[in-house]
Amino acid sequence: MTVLDEIIAGVREDLEARRAEISLEELAKKVASVSPTRDALAALRGAGVATVEIIAEVKRASPSKGALAEIPEPARLAHEYEAGGAAAISVLTESRRFQGRLADLDAVRAEVSIPLLRKDFVIDPYMIWEARAHGADLVLLIAAILDDEQLREYLELTHRLGMNAIVEAHTEEEVDRAVATGAKIIGINTRNLKTLETDPAHFATLADRIPEGRLIVAESGVTGPEVVADYAAAGADVVLVGEALVRTEDPREAVSEFRNHGRRARAARLESIEEERA
């Protein structure tokens, strides 16, 4: 059994416990009363082709590193992210390996005005309804744990609820599957979820498989602004950053620094492309 298999087993068990407490019908009623979704696609596109946006993550722990930060007040951390210029906030809600909770999503939603990503291992439509009921504007759909029919079904439900989805891939085959769904936002995770090994250079080997017009999100492996710059130079439109932000003493300044490094690298990439075309 892989690490991913173990995580999914726990997610499934916790999901059934929540479903026993709150029915889908009750969730649907709650969805009808929550505030409208934010336009996450527009937020992640930023001000134009020269921008690289940051999704800043509220993340207490990970399977590979264990405890990262206590984060007693996720809303305060999210506020600092927003003040630093983050385009969206990612909130981990998986409890066993990441020490997340849906209550964190509620707290962050009450504090910030930018879009929220519910970061979890979505294995059932119930979790998409759940995300919207707690104020999420984005969900993560992981190709490694969903077949083609599920990807399309879950993506359609996400759109029906007014949300967007990041369809995440790690291999060439998964990238091609993500593209085939018509997903507007495709994430390349440089961490192999089955082994937890991370290789930031893996991003560049896959980014060119994604057609123009789709937003490309680089995920995992960010240890500092230079990695954000590398991702931007290789074609990332957006970079998701977790550990490097929750460990820093000044998350507001860190987000700003990451954005600036990404933009400079993106500008250099665009200049190089123009020179090649001339």
Q: Hey, what long-range contacts does 2-8 have (CB within 8 A, 24 or more apart)? A: 2/193, 2/194, 2/195, 3/63, 3/193, 3/194, 3/195, 3/196, 4/144, 4/145, 4/193, 4/194, 5/194, 7/63, 7/94, 7/96, 7/97, 7/121, 7/193, 8/121, 8/123, 8/145
The answer to whether the beta carbons of residues 236 and 203 sit under 8 Å apart is yes
Maximum distance among all alpha carbons in the chain? 62
State yes or no: is 219 an active-site residue.
Answer: yes
Catalytically annotated residue among 80, 174, 219, 243 = 219
Ramachandran area for residue 16 (φ above 0: left; ψ -120 to 50: alpha; else beta): alpha
Query: What are the tokens at 57?
Result: 């993550």
Query: What are the tokens at 266?
Result: 């993106």
Catalytically annotated residue among 53, 80, 168, 257 = 168
State yes or no: is 257 an active-site residue.
Answer: no
Catalytically annotated residue among 53, 59, 164, 243 = 59
Measured CA to CA, the distance from residue 122 to residue 120 in angstroms comes to: 6
The answer to whether the beta carbons of residues 218 and 241 sit under 8 Å apart is no
State yes or no: is 243 an active-site residue.
Answer: no
Q: Is the dihedral of CA 141, 143, 144, 149 positive or negative?
A: positive
The Cβ-side half-sphere exposure at 149, using a 13 Å CA radius, reads 0
Angle between the 3-21 and 125-133 helix axes, to the nearest 10 degrees? 60
State yes or no: is 184 an active-site residue.
Answer: no
Catalytically annotated residue among 62, 164, 189, 192 = 189
Look up residue 278 and give its amino acid: A
State yes or no: is 260 an active-site residue.
Answer: no
State yes or no: is 29 an active-site residue.
Answer: no
Query: What are the tokens at 124?
Result: 């059932």
Catalytically annotated residue among 94, 184, 220, 243 = 220
State yes or no: is 57 an active-site residue.
Answer: yes
Catalytically annotated residue among 62, 80, 90, 119 = 119
Catalytically annotated residue among 57, 80, 243, 257 = 57
Catalytic residues, by residue number, are 57, 59, 119, 168, 189, 219-220
